[in-house]
Amino acid sequence: MAYSDKVIDHYEHPRNVGRLDDKADNVGTGMVGAPACGDVMRLQIQVNSDGVIEDAKFKTYGCGSAIASSSLLTEWVKGKTIDEAEQIKNTAIAEELALPPVKIHCSVLAEDAIKAAVRDIREKRGEAVKEDAAE
């Protein structure tokens, strides 16, 4: 399968690999996917009191497209507010990385991951959580 140059770049030089302390009050963690399906993403965001994402880290078990989707996502969410981050759509990720149709699910997973991370931080902050946030 031919990967786009952007996927290969993110795969070979993944940005923001790592983990943040998931117990910390200012860290939201989103873990989505399943090993049996071939991909698991863990996305973590560190959010300041203004709701701005100061740092983001990921680790992903999955194909090159899944790794690239989560790497790209960490770049995009840094500096955004959690409200803005929640609005990121999988189609934008798929377009940026020129994912082929069989790999669209990788971008869907990335969208799920940021929504799950935002929901986690909202819960920690005692904010109302939209029920459909991670759907």
Q: Is residue 28 within 8 Å of residue 57, measured between CB atoms?
A: no
Q: Interhelix angle for 64-77 vs 90-97, to 10°?
A: 110
Between 29 and 46, name the residue whose CB sits nearer to another protein.
29
Binding flag, residue 105, another protein (CB under 8 A): yes
Shortest distance (Å) from residue 77 CB to another protein: 17
Burial 97-116 (b: 16+ CB within 10 A, else e): bebeeebbbbbbbbbbbbbb
Q: Is 63 marked active-site?
A: no
Q: Pick from 102, 123, 127, 130: which binds another protein (CB under 8 A)? A: 102
Q: Which helix (H) or strand (E) holds 28?
A: strand 27-34
Between 6 and 59, name the residue whose CB sits nearer to another protein.
59
Binding flag, residue 34, another protein (CB under 8 A): yes
Tokens, residue 46: 């560190």
Q: Which residues are catalytic?
A: 37, 106
- Under the rule (CB under 8 A), what is the footprint of another protein? 3, 11, 14, 17, 19, 31-42, 59-64, 66-67, 102, 105, 108-109, 112
